[in-house]
Amino acid sequence: SDAATYESSESHPTSVTTACMDDTVTDPYANSGATESDSTDTISIKLFAIDGAGNRVAANEIAEGSTPQYVAVAFDKNGVELNIGGTVNVTFTTGSAGSSDFTTTSQTVTLGTPFSTATRDDFIADNNETFTVAIVDRTFSDAATYESIDIDTTAVTTIILDDNGEDPYAASGAT
């Protein structure tokens, strides 16, 4: 005890109770404010296309018959990438590319893990066809774990390029 160091010392038998407050919400998608501070601890989830060099990009171009890749990534409120579990649903929507040009099946994908869809190589001269991929809002499997979730539903566009630029008559010898 340090009582001998002081002129007098008093003991108070009353206990002190401390309450730790957190943003406890029933719907993390609708948490607009914080209770313990001036800022909500929001997790943001965003979709990226992956280019041929493995970089995350807003849109990609691929040759028909190839397999474009994408990844859904989580970030904290400061934009720092998070390595958290969980899944989200993504949908593929036709643009100028029809459902015969790529696989349009919706998928459930794991955050941070690349996923893909197949495109089909056809005989039609149809350069620059497009389709989009987007995260479906309110589908994060671990949403109840976090105070606030913001899913960016902005679609990523993929452009399908014809796989050759040859003259179609040159192969048959016709002119």
pTM, 2 dp = 0.76
- Strand boundaries in the chain, DSSP class E: 42-50, 56-57, 59-63, 69-75, 81-82, 87-94, 107-110, 115-116, 129-135, 148-151, 156-161
DSSP state of 121: -
Task: Render each residue's pLDDT in the chain as its tens digit; 175 residues.
Answer: 565 666 665 666 677 776 655 555 567 777 655 445 556 789 999 999 999 999 999 999 999 999 999 999 999 999 999 999 999 999 999 999 999 999 999 999 999 999 999 999 988 877 899 999 999 999 999 999 988 999 999 999 999 998 665 555 554 444 4
DSSP state of 6: S
Q: How many CB atoms lie within 10 A of CB 13?
A: 4
Quick one: 43 exposed, middle or buried, by C-beta within 10 A (0-12, 13-18, 19+)?
Answer: buried
Using the structure block, give the residue that is written with the tokens 């994060």: 140
